[in-house]
Structure 1
Amino acid sequence: MKRKGLLGNLAVLTDVDMTLLPSMSTDTTDEKRAIINTLHQRLSGAFAFVTGRPARSLDTSFPEQLPASVEHHAAWRPAGRGSFRPLAPILDSDGIADFALRQIAGNLAIFNSQKDVLGDKPGVFIEKKNHSVALVFAARATPQEGRDLLNTVAQGVLSSFGLQNSHRVSIGRDAVEVVPMGLNKADAVRHFMDTDAFRGKTPIFLGDGLPDANGMKVCAEEFGGYGIAVGPGIPDAPYVRERVGGIDDVWNYLRRLANAPR
């Protein structure tokens, strides 16, 4: 997967959940952070996280404050360091979480900790963010009827809070989210590729789910890049050049890329 002589012309954009880390986990290692920092330096700043996570979660795992897009591009940090620039309004996440809790109670277990969703018990954790709200379920354990319920609850959030014209429901591998309308990972790619560090480079997008596929498609069709799919969540498509099995494979790839010749 290493491409000799191409490192200097590459840009790397990567999802986090189920690509770099397990869903909801913030645990990482010094070695992994060093790989990311080395890539950022060797790519002359053309490295960015493109994630649905909120800023606080991302910076807990990777505190170096590198370029990033968070909450499905509701906010971004174009060049790293400093605060995130909002691209969407702040939500009443407390009110939405209370509404969702009332709708879900009695049908699914309510987890009080995000770490609980890493287990095998069916249930949901309500993750409050600045610009969106996620109903996160234990992906291996929550039955289809539970997932359907969360979709119904999310649709109810749109109507009950008057968000039909500003937000949409996004269904991922392990969560149903209420996210800003008109913003997605494809927009994040376009915005980063218009910054000094990324402009004119060939972008690679790594991710595991359909929201990531939007970013991969733009990388390929608009900037001559390609996607690397993680696991089976993204169907085969012209913009998917490679596929790796899981998180460990991603880190092996990034490790090799960090040591690749320019």
Structure 2
Amino acid sequence: MPTIPPEPSVPRAPEPHTHRDVAESFGVDAARYDRARPRYPEDMVRRVAAAGPGRRVLDIGCGTGISARQLRAAGCDVLGVEPDARMAEFARDTGVNVEVGTFETWDPTGRTFDIVTAGQAWHWVDPVIGAAKAADILVPTGRFAAFWNVADAPTEVTDSFIAAYQRVLPDSPFDTAAMRRGAGGSGAVTDRATDGLRKSGRFTEPEVWRFEWEQPYTRAEYLDLLPSQGTLTQLAPEPLARILDEVGAAIDATGGVATVRYTTVVVTATRD
């Protein structure tokens, strides 16, 4: 299933970044989030790390530090900004330097950066205000890069999740049909990012990079991943267990392994 939020069929708010209840719900189980969420392909990490005039990186919405640690391993000096204190604490425990706050209100105190990144997080930032602020803290020719892992799970597994989810949460605002679109469903999120960069008037024409890869999950691994998704982070234990039981049965029926095809989508531009 996708690891970016599906488009609400009946939106509770006009833009994803206004859904603060979902945006700040991932820290309910930071250890699971860090353990289960997929990493980013190394070729993407290396390309982003090499794309700026230097290696000083601000990682927006760094969460538990997944992308920050990968960028650090690629030779970058990384500072994270994270609104959820629980996620920030976990990231610090892994050695990531993190400051708590939303990017829109965070004070850089005069600091500038060569690269500004946002892994699985830019949809939680106001796309125009965020782009303008990113330009303010980037050095000339500095690079902005927002990226998302977009998942395409086996059809049987996706169908079982959708059926169980709709039975348990028939009034949910999430458009579960978007889960069947895989990478084809990422357009709304990437369009917001590119439009925000253009409207800021501070960047070169945005580019979109794509990296395709796949990852097999055992039944236990996939059921560990699901509760870290925004559609489920606020769900009570009993209905969550019902959904996981049905998805687990579907994985069992397909041989006990769910191989997920991922497309990592990067929206990037240089400060103009």
Normalised by the length of structure 1, the TM-score is: 0.30
Greater helix percent: which structure?
Answer: 2
**Comparing both chains, which one has the higher relative contact order based on Cα–Cα distances under 8 Å and sequence gaps of 6 or more?**
2
